[in-house]
Amino acid sequence: DAMVIQNPRYQVTQFGKPVTLSCSQTLNHNVMYWYQQKSSQAPKLLFHYYDKDFNNEADTPDNFQSRRPNTSFCFLDIRSPGLGDAAMYLCATSRTGYFNEQFFGPGTRLTVL
Amino acid sequence: QKEVEQNSGPLSVPEGAIASLNCTYSDRGSQSFFWYRQYSGKSPELIMSIYSNGDKEDGRFTAQLNKASQYVSLLIRDSQPSDSATYLCAVVMYSGGGADGLTFGKGTHLIIQP
């Protein structure tokens, strides 16, 4: 079945220790998104790729970076995680732009010690 | 500021009844609307999309859109305990440069009582 896959499902890191989260998709969608969701809050868009074009949200901290080496894979790098970065990180894809339905992966729960 | 508003609940509905979830949005130019279901600790799951005024039905779910009043709702008929979850309303917002992205409401926590 076509799907969005995220690894790992749970990630524990130490304060300031870089961490990379990965997302892959078999839907062959052009757009991949990264969201941050904290407890009882709405998902917050960090950035997205439309094909190879990177689009950063204005309020996304510089501590967060992303890479999309090919259509199927996208990575979220957190260079120096702080306690406030503990959250669920959600990867989503859509066929073309925002107007299309977005499909989410299972998420990665990040804990910062 | 572009916003999507939902009553956080909890909304408690007896099993077998109709659950009605509401959402209002601030951007009059919005054209694309989505409902997601999110179980605790899980990721959002797309339930419905709606783009035109009126009703759209899919199984036990009906989405209703009224662009003039800037609200969108989700009805769940014959509610089941497995419908207990948080329901997120999401709206595509626009700025002068085009679509700004998908803005989510904080969600309504729905509890179906057996």
Count Cβ atoms below 10 Å from residue B25 Cβ, excluding itself: 23
Mean pLDDT, chain A, integer: 94
pLDDT confidence of residue B93: 81
- In angstroms, what separates the C-alpha of B94 from chain A's closest C-alpha? 10
Residue B79 in tokens = 């509610």
Start-to-end CA span in chain B (Å): 40
| pLDDT above 80 (res A99) | no
CB B90 within 8 A of CB A37: no
Q: What is the pLDDT of residues B9-60, one digit of tens each?
A: 999 999 999 999 999 999 888 889 999 999 999 999 999 999 999 999 999 9
pLDDT confidence of residue B99: 67
Tell me, yes or no, if B49 comes closer than 8 A to chain A by beta carbon: yes
DSSP states of A38-73: -TTS--EEEEEEETTEEEE-TT--TTEEEE--SSSE
CB A4 within 8 A of CB A27: yes
Residues of B in contact with A9 (CB under 8 A): none
Q: What is the pLDDT of residues B73-104, one digit of tens each?
A: 999 999 999 999 999 999 998 766 666 688 99
Q: What is the pLDDT of residues A15-59, one digit of tens each?
A: 999 999 999 999 999 999 999 999 989 999 999 999 999 988 888
Tell me, yes or no, if A58 comes closer than 8 A to chain B by beta carbon: no
Contact criterion met (CB < 8 Å) for A48 and B101? yes
User: Where do we find the tokens 């989510």?
Assistant: B104
